[in-house]
Structures are given as structure tokens and as C-alpha cells.
Amino acid sequence: MEPGYHEVQHPSLKPNLAMLNNIEADFPPHVPRPADAPTALGGLRVVDFTHFIAGPFATMMLADMGADIIKIEAPGRGDDFRQYPPVHSELGQGAPFLWSNRNKRSIAIDLKTPEGLDVARELIASADVVVENFSTGVMERFGLDYATCKAYNPRLIYCSVSAYGRTGAFADRLGFDPIAQAESGFVSMNGYADREGVRALSPVMDISTAMMACNAVLGALLAREKSGKGQAVEIALFDNAVLMTGYAPMQYLFSGADPQRHGNTSPDTCPSGVFKAKDKSFYINSGNNGIFQRLMTQVIGRPDLAADPNYATGDLRRARRDELFEILGNAFAEQPWSHWQGTDAGGRYPQRGTAQR
């Protein structure tokens, strides 16, 4: 091996699937992808200078599509995300890291040494894509910024994932998923009206930013097929967090009313929310008039409610949300979930699409 370069093996891990014991009964059987099936990005090389979640999850999706991902990590410690708990006693790596870094090869390069930088440049020269999510200015200090790299690899796609963008007053600020959730207004929209807003425990901003970064890379690769030229693309965590507030900002522009917290109910459709059968809770989403009609006639056996003009439209149903929820709550409480779910002879496939978990 060259100085500053060594390969890190990723042992396989068979996770504890106790929480998914009933998956085979609840869902159709899994059909593995044929081992010799072609992949969309087979033959493409991605040099991955990312860490934590948003960047690594983006390159992991590229890996899932067949790209060869070479993840660059610091010698000794590697990506700090490796040690996020729980850490497997034999692998010495945490579950979050394994979740976001499958199908990659990792190498340790000391970018603070001339030898390490030589290895990095050699890899970039042969790469189709570079993805990085260092703090603003780090790649420039290493001489690995896009302007420098494209001089010796003009077909390179160079993706930067940042917190607030690479320019502007916030360019030097660090960013984390829960902060983006709070600053974007996402937290204020979630939870119950009688208490503080609630962040999503899942790193939804990191994951969705990763998806946008992956999309940007794919779009740039498509553009390269047409033009023969590479380009730089950039995704900011905060920009994506604002996107993740959905259509609430547009509703505000129309109505002037701030979004409110509605718990498990929907401010836009009715009846939508959590209901309880005899043995467990489940979720219903009546997204349109047709679903409401089927819910009343095919599920709870109340064609009279389906025909009632008081419930004919979404606006009318929202105005009578409490009485509708009481009717449905009383009906669902009479039977176990298996009755409301509806299954085939094998006990697997839901037939009633109205009552959804």
C-alpha cells in the first residue's frame, strides 16, 4: 500500500430482527435481486469525503445503484459516526454508521500530509463523482476544491453538502438535523396544540437532504451524457429543511394563518387519524371523498353516513371532525385489528385499503 492509504474491511452484520418478527406474515415475501442483474450506476466511481449522515446516506444510495464508493476517512478514528450507539461489541462500529454506509469501500488517508493528498488527487483523477460535506473552506485548504479538481478531471461531478450554503453570512455555521428542524419551522408544526412542538426522532432533514444530493448527482451525470462536461452541484441542509415543511408555507400565503399542531389528525383531510380496535391502534387516512365513502360502506357498514349530505365534502367533514371520530372510535372498538384489516386466506395481504395502519 502507498503511504497514507490502507483498506478498512466492513464485516457483515446480521442484525437482531426481534422488532420485525411478524414481517413475513404482514407483508408479501421478499424476492432477492438476481446477483447478475445489471445496475444503473455500475462502472461509475465515487470518491466520498463525507461523514455523519447527510453526505454518507447520499453516497450510500449511489452505491445501492451500483456505483463504486470509496469512502475517505481519517486515520485512527475514521468517521466519528462509527461510534454512535449502540456499538457492536465484535465489529467495534455503531448501528447508525452501518445503516448509512453499506456497499462502500473505506480507506484511511491523512489529508494533512503531502503523501495523503497525492493519493486523494489520484483517486479524484479517476473518479466520476466527488461528494464532500466538510465545513466551508476545508476542501479549498486541501487543494481539493472543484475549481482545482476540474482542471485535471473536466468530466467530474462535484457535490457539496453544506448546512447553510457555501456563500453568504451563514456559510461558516455548522448544521445538525434537529437544529434545522427547529429553525425551518418544522418543529413548530408537529406535536399537539396544548404543548411545545416536537422534533422528529428520525433524522428526516439529513435523510431528505441526502436524497436531494443523490438526485442532484444523478441529474449532473445525465447532463454530462449530453454535454460531455462535469459540473458542481450543492445542497444545503437548511434549504431542504424549509422544503420539508411541505405546502404549509404556500397555505400561509393563501390564508395568512400560521400552521397549527394537530397531533395525529390532519388539518386537510377528515377522518384521518389514530383509532383503536379492541387490541391495538391503527391509522386511517381518508384522503378524498371516494375513500370516505368506502370507509363508511365497506368497512364499518354505515351507508347512511356515506349518503349523509352533512359529510359530503372534506370541508363539511372537517367541521364535524369530533362527531365523526366518536362514531368511528365506537365502531372500531367492537372488533380486533385483524377484523378491520381484512386478509386473504393466507392471512397476509390487506384488502381494505381504507383502514391503514
Report, as residue numbers or ranges, the catalytic residues: 206
Task: Judge contact between 47 and 55, C-beta under 8 A.
Answer: no
Task: Judge contact between 109 and 120, C-beta under 8 A.
Answer: yes
- Determine the residue type at 342: G
Positive/negative CA dihedral, 212, 216, 217, 222:
positive
**How many other CB atoms sit within 10 Å of the CB of residue 239?**
18
Helix intervals (H) in the chain = 23-26, 54-64, 95-99, 114-125, 138-142, 146-152, 177-184, 204-227, 237-243, 248-255, 289-294, 303-307, 314-319, 321-332, 337-341
Task: Judge contact between 206 and 51, C-beta under 8 A.
Answer: no
The strand pairing partners of 161, in sequence order, are: 235
Q: In what order do the strands lie in the sheet with 68-73?
A: 7-8, 104-108, 68-73, 45-49, 129-132, 157-162, 231-236
Q: Measure the CA–CA gap between 135 and 248, rounded to whole angstroms.
A: 31
**What are phi and psi for residue 169, nearest 5 degrees?**
-65, -25
Q: Measure the CA–CA gap between 67 and 129, rounded to whole angstroms.
A: 10
